[in-house]
Amino acid sequence: DSVVWADEIVVVDSGSTDRTPEICRELGAKVQVTADWPGFGPQKNRALEQATGDWILSVDADEWLTPELQTEIRQIVAAPTVHAAFRIPRSSSFCGRFMRHSGWWPDPVLRLFRRGRARFSDDLVHERLIADGSVGQLSHLLMHESFTSLEEVLHKVDRYSSAGAQMM
């Protein structure tokens, strides 16, 4: 819902079971469903290949934009800028509480960029956006609900450690 104002929404889905493709299509998104899961970086690059706009904002399914960030992004893409990409401060929650310490705050993430000027690394986990050009900084928050329960934390640690071992 926090990105429905965008000119184009691209969703790449690999086997969700919660009606994600149908919900996204109902909201006007271009949806590609794939049978495989190549990892976070390659999956995000699949979405980049589908995007046609001048600017791309990459948002994960557990993230959303504040109204202030929506306004700031609209202003950035409407005006000339020397930057190829922008970092956004991210506020992450852990089991229902937003973290303000432990390296989780302000957690700047590179997510807004000119099409053709950045690409995601091919890492299976902890992918990063690699920008070709200068990087600016936005001031309003990208919200992130990282974990809702301890069970979810343990499940994610298990998946990420296995993927990390596979990468090594």
Residue 8 has pLDDT above 80, yes or no: yes
Residue 22 has pLDDT above 90, yes or no: yes
Cβ-proximal residues to 27 (8 Å cutoff; 6+ apart), any chain: 1, 4, 9
Residue 133 has pLDDT above 80, yes or no: yes
Average pLDDT, the chain: 92
Predicted confidence (pLDDT) per residue in 72-129, tens digit: 999 999 999 999 999 999 999 988 888 888 878 889 999 999 999 999 999 877 899 9
Predicted confidence (pLDDT) per residue in 34-50, tens digit: 999 898 899 999 999 99
Picking from 54, 47, 62, the residue whose alpha carbon sits closest to that of residue 14 is: 47
How far is the C-alpha of 151 from the C-alpha of 36, rounded, in Å?
25
Picking from 84, 68, 83, 81, the residue whose alpha carbon sits closest to that of residue 141 is: 68
Residue 160 has pLDDT above 80, yes or no: no
Helix (H, G, I), strand (E, B) or coil at 166: helix
Q: What is the pLDDT of residue 149?
A: 81
Residue 164 has pLDDT above 80, yes or no: no
